[in-house]
Amino acid sequence: MKTKSYTFRVVIDTEEDIFRDIVILENQNFEEFHHSIIAAFGFEGDQMASFYMSNEEWDKGEEIGLMDMSFEDNKGPASMKNTLIGNMVKMPHQKILYVYDFLKMWIFYIELFEEGVENPEDGYPYVKLSFGEAPDESSKIIPDLIDNLYNDDSSIEDDVNDVFNEFDNDDFENFENIDDYDI
């Protein structure tokens, strides 16, 4: 029986249309897919990443993480190294989200668009088609989370004062010395 190949279109979330078509085999793992995406877009590959199985609406589903985060009880997301592509592709046009660098949040939309069989002359995974110039990995700025919280005229100082003004000293009369607690 011949090994199945999958061609995935990997679209990076930018204003420009930029994508890579990557062909990978069903018996290869998500870690190999991760490395092929990083190489195809010219990224360093020194950041954490996860795949998320998705549905038609691009909702995040089951996570497949770069590192094995399961402990003694085997709870936690599956690892890329231990998860085969063929075990997760359940339907035609399977959709997968891929997040690289959880601070800069590079997001890639991945969709299966072609199935085939392994060609022994090809080295897998490989880039079948490259469209658009990939952005520089360092071009994305880490979002300023504090600025995003304040879209109106309020300030951090006003909000902190509001919190403290909600309480008066009577609220704390039964408060004991914090050093008495094991933290």
Give the model's pLDDT for residue 121.
93
More confident site: 139 or 28:
28
Give the integer Cα–Cα distance in Å for 70 and 72.
7
Query: What value does the mean pLDDT take over residues 84-105?
Result: 95
Q: Is a pLDDT exceeding 80 seen at residue 108?
A: yes
Q: What residue ranges do the domains of the chain occupy?
A: 4-139, 145-177
Q: Is a pLDDT exceeding 50 seen at residue 101?
A: yes
SS3 category, 116: strand
Q: Is a pLDDT exceeding 90 seen at residue 22?
A: yes
SS3 category, 52: strand
Query: What value does the mean pLDDT take over residues 104-124?
Result: 95
CATH architecture of 4-139: Roll (3.10)
Give the model's pLDDT for residue 67.
78
Q: What are the C-alpha distances in Å from 44 to residues 39, 59, 117, 171? A: 8, 27, 31, 52
Strand duo 4-12 + 19-25: pairing: antiparallel
What's the chain's average pLDDT? 83
More confident site: 115 or 45:
115
Confidence of residue 147 (pLDDT cuts 50, 70, 90): low
Q: Is a pLDDT exceeding 90 seen at residue 58?
A: yes
